[in-house]
Amino acid sequence: MSTYINDFIKNGEKRNLSKNTLEAYKRDLVKYEDFLSTRKEDFISSDEVSVMAFVQHLRSLNKANSSIVRIIVTLRVFYKYLVNKNIVDQSPLFNFENPKSKRNMPRILSVEEVDKLLNMPDGSTLKGIRDKAMLEVMYATGMKTTELINLKISDVNLKLSYIRCKNNKFERIIPIGSYASNCIEEYLKVRPEINFYKSEDLFFNLKGKKISRQGFWKIIKEYSAMLNIEKQIDSNILRHSFAVHLLQNGADIKSIQELLGHTTITSTQIYSSVSKKSKIMDVYKNAHPRA
């Protein structure tokens, strides 16, 4: 990995960019650097043709269009840094147009499927108690996976039934219902058994260390396999289901935007499309004699 990437990442650390953002930047830049080396080029000699060839290379690997767009965004930020440092005169992406990004509809579970998923953990084991608490909290609040695993014990107020959620942009207060409150309360009884390092984190892995995004993904994968449904499930499916189920039960889009922590209403409106599509399917199934 070149010194240009190292210096760029260090600059991002000084600007307090999140760890996940910096890791994504590093992965994308290393991919481009490796590709350039096959053409006997480097970051300095790279031009618009290099970028076009790189995009074609990514497509040949069947990379999703959204992934390609994200990588191009990374290269734009990186070359802006190089220009500001007078390392290059002009970015090779100056006249380059981003591929059109088609936004995928978020996958959701039905209310019945959510109930089944949340009841999968074994409530007689420490792991099961922890897993159920995590799943219930995500569905009750609509948090992102990163927000969930970064919760501190001081962020939870069971007396007033809310959780304080903090991210890089702002802080928000999210109410929680009785199901999530009860599951957190049960988890807090056994939490000292795995809190080997006296941490303030709310959730740990079974070795007492902070649970990772991959760790939570494995939890979702484990119980979704037991659920035995054909839907493709990812670690944010409870967040998406949270938003759509609120809409289906009469919540307004502005309130859901605030609960999800979206900075613009545009990001939230995609859930309206999912909700309408789901409602039409229900009407069809209930009304059509051959459904």
Per-residue pLDDT at 291 = 47
pTM score: 0.67
240 is catalytic: no
d(CA 255, CA 247): 10
pLDDT reported for residue 83: 95
- Spell out where the chain has E strands: 156-157, 162-166, 171-175
179-214 CB burial, b ≥16 within 10 A, e <16: ebbebbeebeeebeebeeeebebbbbbeeeeebeee
Catalytic residue of the set 144, 191, 239, 245: 239
3-state secondary structure of 188: helix
Cα(21)–Cα(232) distance, integer angstroms:
25
In sequence order, the 6+-apart residues with CB closer than 8 A to the CB of 136 are 118, 179, 180, 183, 184
Q: Taking residues 152-167, report their average pLDDT.
A: 94
Mean pLDDT, range 8-18, rounded to an integer: 93
**Are 132 and 118 in contact, with CB atoms under 8 Å apart?**
yes
Q: What is the pLDDT of residue 204?
A: 93
Active site residue 288: no
- Backbone torsion region of residue 166, taken as left when φ is above 0, otherwise alpha when ψ lies between -120 and 50, otherwise beta: beta
Question: Is 70 exceeded by the pLDDT of residue 103?
Answer: no
**Active-site hit among 14, 159, 169, 288:** 169
Higher pLDDT: 101 or 238? It is 238
- 112-148 pLDDT per residue, tens: 999 999 999 999 999 999 999 999 999 999 999 999 9
Q: What is the pLDDT of residue 269?
A: 84
Percent of the chain with pLDDT over 70: 91
In this predicted structure, the answer to whether residue 94 has a pLDDT above a threshold of 70 is yes
Question: Over the chain, what is the mean pLDDT?
Answer: 89
Please state the domain extents for the chain.
Answer: 3-84, 111-236
- The class of domain 3-84 in CATH terms is mainly alpha
* Residue 285 clears pLDDT 80, i.e. is over it: no
Determine whether 223 is an active site residue: no
What is the dotted CATH code of the domain comprising 111-236?
1.10.443.10
How confident is the model over 238-265, as a mean pLDDT?
91
Task: Give the residue-averaged pLDDT of 74-94.
Answer: 94
In three-state secondary structure terms, 163 is strand
Helix count and strand count (H, E) for the chain: 12, 3
Active site residue 169: yes
Count of residues for the chain?
Answer: 291
What average pLDDT does the segment 11-26 reach? 92
Kindly indicate the confidence band of residue 286, based on its pLDDT and cuts at 50, 70 and 90.
low
- pLDDT greater than 60 at residue 287: no
The whole-number average pLDDT for the span 26-33 is 95
Indicate if the pLDDT at residue 173 is higher than 90. yes
Residue 107, pLDDT above cutoff 90: no
Between CA 224 and CA 220 the distance in angstroms is 6
* Model confidence pLDDT, tens digit, residues 193-207: 999 999 999 999 999
- Look at 54-68, 96-110, 268-282 and tell me which has the smallest mean pLDDT: 268-282
CA 150 to chain CA centroid, nearest Å: 13
Residues in CB range of 9: below 8 A, 6 or more apart: 22, 25, 26
CA gap 218, 157 in Å, rounded: 28
